[in-house]
């Protein structure tokens, strides 16, 4: 099979200005909940793009853990590759792709760490093995083999038993959006694409973009 011949006609839904919410957060909430109800695989998975001092972008998949008028939240190791890039350049882009619903959401904005109480509360809500894993994995560092992770997990499991504290190098980030895009696949590649841009008065300008 020639990969260039793979095609799909997008015909499941449409996205109009009249049917979309003037507030992008409410539109996102609507689409995310529709994806959850539709039981699409991992509707909470999002691509996170960052740019370091070398100006080369990098992406990875993370999981959204909260959202409100302040922004979009996820948790990770502050010393990881993405953490180091965000420390030097606190701006990022997020993307959700709900393939089964033929939808994409793109979000851009500035990034900050969430408060320590927020990070503590989420960390202690995680399963025990995930809390131990936050100590066991020197994320993004070169290791000799998987034995390093297993050995570290055993060591910290014995040290902390059922109550591992939140590691000082682990916590949450919040992206404060200044731009949203909602993409709905349409027939003949004439897709619907709405962009929301934050204006100086704090309101949102909604515009249709050519696909």
Find the helix packing angle between 116-125 and 128-136, rounded to 10°: 120
Q: In the chain, count of helices (H) and strands (E)?
A: 5, 9
Q: For the chain, first and last CA: distance in Å?
A: 27
Known catalytic membership, residue 56? no
Distance separating alpha carbons of residues 207 and 165, to the nearest angstrom: 46
- Which element (helix H / strand E) includes 133? helix 128-136
Catalytic residue among 131, 174, 189, 206: 189
Q: Which residues are catalytic?
A: 189
């Amino acid at each position: 099979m020639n990969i260039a011949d793979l095609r799909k006609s997008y015909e499941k839904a449409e996205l109009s200005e009249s049917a979309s919410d003037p507030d992008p957060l409410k539109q996102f909430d609507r689409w995310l909940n529709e994806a959850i109800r539709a039981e699409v695989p991992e509707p909470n998975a999002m691509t996170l793009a960052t740019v370091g001092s070398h100006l080369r972008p990098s992406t990875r998949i993370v999981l959204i853990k909260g959202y409100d008028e302040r922004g979009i939240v996820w948790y990770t190791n502050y010393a990881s590759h993405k953490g180091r890039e965000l420390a030097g350049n606190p701006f990022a882009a997020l993307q959700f792709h709900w393939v089964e619903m033929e939808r994409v959401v793109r979000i851009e904005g500035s990034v900050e760490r969430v408060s320590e109480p927020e990070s503590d509360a989420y960390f202690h809500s995680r399963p025990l093995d995930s809390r131990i894993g936050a100590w066991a994995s020197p994320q993004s560092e070169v290791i000799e083999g998987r034995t390093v992770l297993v050995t570290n997990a055993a060591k910290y499991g014995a040290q902390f038993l059922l109550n591992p504290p939140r590691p000082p190098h682990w916590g949450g980030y919040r992206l404060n959006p200044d731009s949203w895009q909602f993409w709905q696949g349409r027939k003949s590649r004439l897709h619907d694409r709405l962009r929301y841009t934050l204006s100086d008065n704090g309101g949102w300008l909604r515009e249709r973009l050519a696909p």
